[in-house]
Amino acid sequence: MARLTALLLPLLLLLAGCSGRQSALGPGGADAQVLAVLFFVMLGGAVVLWLFMNGLFYWATRRSPSAHSEKGSFLLIVIGGILFPTVVLAALLSYGLAILPDQRAPGDGLTVAVRGEQWWWRVEYWPEGAEAPIRTANEIRLPVGARTEFRLDSHRVIHSFWVPALGGKMDMFPGRETRMSLEPVRPGLYRGQCAEFCGESHAWMAFEVEAMEPAAFDAWLAHEASDARPPEGAEAQRGAALFAAQGCGACHAVRGTEAVGQVGPDLTHVGSRHSLGAGRLGMAQEDLMRWIRDPAAFKPGAEMPAYDHLSEAQLSDLATYLRGLQ
């Protein structure tokens, strides 16, 4: 019994990894659903083959050598060793090729351009017929029940765009555009992760994907297109003044203000995002203060310089201003 428990425990732990917001086996998207089915069918096929071959091995080695006739051995090799695996593997391959989702299926109108940066994501929404994009960063929201097309590329090195719970992944290259599309079927918060080693902070290059009901998504996108709200309250106003005085606007844009930098992430509605630093920290006051004080402490190699010359009160003012950018 103890041996059985010892055997089953790792299996249970393994199965615990099958759900969650970054699991390909807890699908929230149309493509991911197909891929999850494919995974279990392949697993089933592999188990059948494994059991059959082990059974055959057991049977063959338990018989006395004299019981093996030449013809019997020949048939065993041809049927058990060649024919059976070929048929099962060919069936699995045909099934897989037949149901594999078309990663480049055309979208239903909305296009999202994502560029891999060191180590964050530049995001642009292009609604159908739009002449200018709606810029944001490190978070993607998508309407449920519609296919959104992604245009992907990269600034410097190869990254890879992957939201396991929604669909397959696609590499992002500098100077070359790749395309894919995703169709969420279940509202929820999913996690995306860069899936190609891209330097020292590769592991910290994540993002959130929120799948929303279409009406909520439309309202969100309209808000995302709007300018930033002016700071409310003395602390946020001091933070806004400090943001300008420290030259933050040379790298970051806050639409509706004089900050128009395009080097770093757009911060127009940064306070409404689910995470900070491409999934690195939360959005609490303390998270923003820690990040501004020394980004490289959380993301080695990050291009944003440390602002550790600022006082705690100044960092708090800045954090209040940024959190207010809803």
Instruction: Work out the angle at residue 128's Cα, subtended by the Cα atoms of residues 127 and 130, and round it to the nearest 5 degrees.
Output: 70
Structure tokens given for 137: 């960063």
Map the footprint of ligand CUA across residues 94-123, applying CB under 6 A.
116, 119
Comparing CB distances to ligand CUA, the nearer of 204 and 307 is 204
Single out the segment in contact with ligand CUA by CB under 6 A; choices: 47-55, 198-206, 210-218, 228-236.
198-206
Specify the DSSP element, H or E, that contains 33: helix 30-62
Q: How far is CA 89 from the centre of its chain?
A: 31
Which is it for the CA torsion 81, 86, 92, 96, positive or negative? positive
197 binds ligand CUA (CB under 6 A): yes
279 binds ligand CUA (CB under 6 A): no
Single out the segment in contact with ligand CUA by CB under 6 A; choices: 63-71, 95-103, 180-188, 195-203.
195-203
198 binds ligand CUA (CB under 6 A): yes
Comparing CB distances to ligand CUA, the nearer of 159 and 255 is 159
Closest distance to ligand CUA from the beta carbon of 296 (Å): 17
Q: How many residues line the site for ligand CUA (CB under 6 A)? A: 9
196 binds ligand CUA (CB under 6 A): yes
Instruction: Work out the angle at residue 246's Cα, subtended by the Cα atoms of residues 243 and 248, and round it to the nearest 5 degrees.
Output: 60
205 binds ligand CUA (CB under 6 A): yes
Calculated CA dihedral for residues 131, 105, 28, 282, nearest 10 degrees: -40
User: What is the SS3 assignment for 100-153?
Assistant: CCCCCCCCCCCEEEEEECCCCEEEEEECCCCCCCEEEECEEEEECCCCEEEEEE
Comparing CB distances to ligand CUA, the nearer of 202 and 273 is 202
194 binds ligand CUA (CB under 6 A): yes
Closest distance to ligand CUA from the beta carbon of 206 (Å): 10
Comparing CB distances to ligand CUA, the nearer of 196 and 266 is 196
159 binds ligand CUA (CB under 6 A): yes
170 binds ligand CUA (CB under 6 A): no
Structure tokens given for 162: 């992957």
Single out the segment in contact with ligand CUA by CB under 6 A; choices: 63-71, 197-205, 248-256, 259-267.
197-205
CA distances from 44 to 8, 37, 53, 82, 95 (A): 18, 11, 14, 19, 13
Residue 278's nearest CA partner among 265, 292, 268 is: 265
Residues engaged in binding ligand CUA (CB under 6 A)? 116, 119, 159, 194, 196-198, 202, 205
